[in-house]
Structure 1
């Protein structure tokens, strides 16, 4: 098999590996192999082919951090677990007292909740979740009565 074909096989193998490990690291060895393939096609000896492969790969590897950080910064941060509930609305299922917690239903789940203004919120009142404090939700009344 001619030298340029071997480098093409190496390049394709690197791209396939990169598909399964999206790190933008192996990809640069694939690009280096393509450039080495070009050198082999132009008649360069094996020493020059390896030199071109190593130099090209080494020159491109520092761009990994820049490219991957740009790719990752485009992702929208997803709130998970209990922090995904902040900003959601629900309704009071058990009266929230001035100093004692009640219960609210948000996203189909029942949570222990306290009022943000430390005022009483009656059962059936629509509320918005302002924050999570430990295992309690801090809510504010939206003033609407919801049928339970």
Structure 2
């Protein structure tokens, strides 16, 4: 009967490949650290002729060190300086809009500055405000498929210096 522990190198290769595949799916550097720990700690000690329990222990310790010490440093370097760009619904908050119809009971339709027409309702602080068609609005939030809007403040115009 063959000694099954002589094939532990195959196990370390499989664990490493599986972790690399998982890293490619998640892109959080976690599985990459575990893959490195398995490859260096597990397979490395196997090639040095260590027992199976030493291989497992060294792979676990090295993976833990990489996850808790190296990963945060790498993550900071990779994410540092990255501009935060709001997308989808998050980008709509604060956007200007125009009422397309008169609001009845605080509800109506608004055409946003990006060209989309949304079902809209006035926010709680402005529920009793009358909104005629064409009125300027500002998107406060998005609630499901409804834009929560508030009347936009009128732009401040600079005083005319030509008049005396």
TM-score after normalising by structure 1: 0.57
Structure 1: 5+ residue runs without aligned partners?
144-148
Question: 1:146 corresponds to which residue?
Answer: none
Structure 1 distance, partners of 2:91, 2:65, is 42
Native 8 Å contact 1:23 1:68 kept in 2: no
For each residue in 1:69-90, what CA deviation from the matched residue of structure 2 results, as whole angstroms up to 9, or x when unmatched? 7477858364665x65332233
1:108 paired to 2:114? no
CA 1:10/1:77 → structure 2, altered by over 3 Å: closer, same or farther? same
1:36-75 pair list within 5 angstroms: 36-41=42-47, 43-46=48-51, 47-63=53-69, 66=72, 70=76, 74=82
Native 8 Å contact 2:30 2:71 kept in 1: no
The alpha carbon displacement at 1:129 in A equals 0.5
1:129 paired to 2:134? no
Partner of 1:62, secondary structure, is: helix
The alpha carbon displacement at 1:101 in A equals 4.7
Native 8 Å contact 2:93 2:142 kept in 1: no
Structure 2 residue corresponding to 1:93, chosen from 91, 100, 110: 100
CA 1:89/1:56 → structure 2, altered by over 3 Å: closer, same or farther? same
Question: 1:138 corresponds to which residue?
Answer: 150
| Bigger mean CA offset, 62-71 vs 14-23 | 62-71
Native 8 Å contact 1:92 1:123 kept in 2: yes
Aligned residues: 137
Q: Comparing both structures, which one devotes a greater share of its residues to strand?
A: 1
The alpha carbon displacement at 1:142 in A equals 5.7
Native 8 Å contact 1:104 1:113 kept in 2: no
For each residue in 1:51-84, what CA deviation from the matched residue of structure 2 results, as whole angstroms up to 9, or x when unmatched? 3212212222324873697477858364665x65
Structure 2: 5+ residue runs without aligned partners?
1-5, 156-164
